[in-house]
Amino acid sequence: MQTQQQLNYERIASAIRFIKENRREQPKLEEVAEHVHMSPYHFQRTFQEWAGTSPKHFLQYLNVEYAKRILQETHASLFDTACEVGLSGTGRLYDLFVNIEGMTPGEYKNGGENLAIHYSFAESPFGEIFVASTDKGICCLEFTDNHPVSIDNLKRKFPNAKYKQIVDELQQNALFIFTQDWSKLKEIKLHLKGTDFQLKVWEALLKIPMGGLTTYGDIAAGINHPKAFRAVGTAVGENPVALLIPCHRVIRSTGELGNYHWGDVRKTAIIGWEAARKEQSNFNF
């Protein structure tokens, strides 16, 4: 049965899709509300509750000009902290330490034979989440529309692991990113299966501050592979941990938001949601 939170996200996602498709006409609040079968008052109130800001302020973060401005603002300082141990950014999420511990060669070879993997499903503002963990950290966090498919995909990565559907503390800590009580966030660790190049790209993604955006070319330059922007794009697309490793903050050099593994509408919504959380400002539509 669909929850109210899921229903609200679907309505907001539909509204964002409608606005993107009709950007040149700059649809009014009434038009967008009608498209999602809500009254203007109810739509604005629901949007305010979902995003923490008004539709007008939220949508300011979704246009190309805003993306270009943020890109210019973050370009110079994106990798200033690349040599630091750990991670301490300006965003609230990045006040905590996120540690990537790559799989060992043995774990690659035996398909996770000695791994015990816990997994569960949870709600988020952007749809249902599938999250899995080992005793070392989160190994998967993704949006899901199909429980069996998500489980099968994970089992293909670790065919010999032992699986159990259970919510553990590692998963709970990771899912606190969707709440506003950031004081409850404890140390989050990631246990990821990736090549050396992929791990370098994923570590670089962690340097992007909340509310900031960067390009594939900037990521490539930051890991000392300036010509490898296409390979960077592939590694970004293979990120197994949504949101914790913010691949949604990487856009095209033109300022366009570009594609996203879990859907461009969801990417648009996440960028706007983060910007609204950062600003925490209220405006009238």
Q: pLDDT per residue over 150-169, tens digit each?
A: 999 999 988 999 999 999 99
Strands 138-143 and 129-133, by their bridges, are antiparallel
Most confident of the ranges 21-30, 192-201, 231-240: 231-240
Output 34 or 183, whichever has higher pLDDT.
34
| Statement: residue 131 has pLDDT above 90 | yes
Catalytic annotation, pick one of 83, 139, 140, 247: 247
Neighbours of 251 (CB within 10 A): 21
List C-alpha distances in Å: 281 to 112, 179, 214, 224, 258: 46, 17, 24, 38, 27
Kind and range of the H or E run holding 215:
strand 214-215
| Statement: residue 99 has pLDDT above 60 | yes
DSSP state of 241: B
Kind and range of the H or E run holding 164:
strand 162-165
In this prediction, residue 153 carries a pLDDT of 94
Q: Is 255 left (phi over 0), alpha (psi -120 to 50) or beta?
A: left
140 is annotated as an active-site residue: no
| pLDDT tens digits along 57-89 | 777 766 655 555 555 655 534 333 222 322 333
**Residue length of the chain:** 285
Neighbours of 21 (CB within 10 A): 10
Output 187 or 21, whichever has higher pLDDT.
21
Q: How far apart are CA 285 and CA 216, in angstroms?
A: 34
